Amino acid sequence: MLTVAALPLPELGARLRGDGLLLRTGPFVNCVRTDVASLAAGIAAMYADYPVEAPGGFVDFHLNLRRPRGLRQWLRPQVAFDQDGLAPFQPLPVAQAYPMLEWLLNWCVSQRAHGYLLIHAAVLERHGRAVILPAPPGSGKSTLCAALVGHGWRLLSDEMTLVRPADGLVAPLPRPVSLKNASIGVIRAAFPDAVLSPSVEGTSKGTIAYLRAPRASIARAAEPASPAHIVFPRYEAGAATRLEPVPKARAFMQVADNSFNYPALGRQGFDTLARLVDACGCHTFRYSDLGEALARFDRLAREGA
């Protein structure tokens, strides 16, 4: 199987500038086209272990990221996104091209992939048990996710949990883990071997860097996982590590609030979410010490729902 790492850099650049790089992420094939050199470098670094599909197949999502022409390209270079001529977003400074690609890959899934109940949540697996971490931004979800990945958990997704209505299993979509602001330093310090992208400052979410997904997680991207726990994490400076049960009805509503397409799925969304919440232990989790948090999660992975 061809991977991004197996493509010589000039060939990678030529595909990105030409008909597109057919990058497989989990169940999806993305056709990425760009003339932004830094973006090609970012893809080479962060997606080295991902499969590249041969031309002639079906493409799920088309992403075109270009530097707009005109005077501005010399003064304040930008990167603009379009899909088949439609540009739903404002251009961003070219330095933010890589985070923009990551946001767009999420956006494509959240807009269209209604074959799954899509939850805004990290999801990781150990001992055959998947733990779902739904949380609004600022709750420390990605930090915890990155730490669990560094600690040997399988990454299914940092951003988007894909629940299959047919069997209730979670389909993996392992991609780089986004780290914001202080958590970049926290993860660097805790896991000196972790591969992080360069930090990008001044994005709408502050300073942002990405942790490369582990090769083993990418290799198992076709292998679904059985959900066992839903944990709503909350980082609080100085807080003692505490895992507490949440009533299922409340957990249901909170997950629905964190879903991209719960309303769009109608009855099927309700049934899928009810089955998920029924099958899982539901908890809130407060923490400040990452080491204690990891130990608690290891215990959780040994316990059933």
Partner 1 sequence: MSGDRMPLLVQVLRAPHAVQALDLPGWSLLLRQAERADMQATLLALLEDADLLETVPDAPRTHLEWIRTGATRHAQAVRNEVRQILRALDGLDLPVILLKGAAYAMAGLEAGRGRRFSDIDILVPKASLPAVESALMQNGWATTHHDAYDQRYYREWMHELPPMEHVLRGNVIDVHHAILPETAALHPDPAKLRAAAVPIDAPDAAPGGMRLAILAPHDMVLHSAVHLFSEGEFHHGLRDLFDVHRLLGQFGPAPGFWDGLVPRARELDLGRPLFYALRHAMRVFGTPVPAQVVRTVASCGPGPLRTALMDTLFGRALRPPHPDCMDALSGPALGLLYVRGNWLRMPPLLLVQHLFRKALISPRKPL
Query: Binding residues for partner 1, per CB under 8 A?
Result: 55-60, 62, 84-86, 90, 112-115, 263-266, 268
CB of 110 to partner 1, least distance (A): 12
User: Which CB sits closer to partner 1, 8 or 263?
Assistant: 263
The half-sphere exposure of 164 on its side-chain side, counting CA atoms within 13 A, is: 14
**From the centroid of its chain, how far is CA 171?**
13
Q: In this structure, how many other beta carbons lie within 10 angstroms of the beta carbon of residue 56?
A: 6
CB of 75 to partner 1, least distance (A): 18
The Cα–Cα gap between 149 and 218 comes to 12
CB of 10 to partner 1, least distance (A): 25
Across the strands, what pairs with 232? Answer: 284
User: Which CB sits closer to partner 1, 88 or 198?
Assistant: 88
* Residue 6 backbone class (left: φ over 0; alpha: ψ -120 to 50; beta: rest): alpha
Starting at the edge strand found earlier in the chain, the sheet holding 177-180 runs 177-180, 206-211, 200-203
- Cβ atoms of 207 and 181 within 8 Å: the answer is yes
The Cα–Cα gap between 73 and 78 comes to 7
CB of 8 to partner 1, least distance (A): 25
User: Which CB sits closer to partner 1, 30 or 157?
Assistant: 30
Q: Which of 155, 151, 203 is nearest to 177 (CA)?
A: 155
The Cα–Cα gap between 258 and 119 comes to 6
User: Which CB sits closer to partner 1, 27 or 281?
Assistant: 27
DSSP 8-state class, residue 98: H
Burial (Cβ within 10 Å: 0-12, 13-18, ≥19) of residue 202: exposed
User: Which CB sits closer to partner 1, 84 or 193?
Assistant: 84
In three-state secondary structure terms, 260 is coil
User: Which CB sits closer to partner 1, 56 or 247?
Assistant: 56
CB of 21 to partner 1, least distance (A): 15
User: Which CB sits closer to partner 1, 84 or 167?
Assistant: 84
Helix axis angle, 248-257 to 262-279, nearest 10°: 150
User: Which CB sits closer to partner 1, 112 or 205?
Assistant: 112
- Cβ atoms of 197 and 42 within 8 Å: the answer is yes
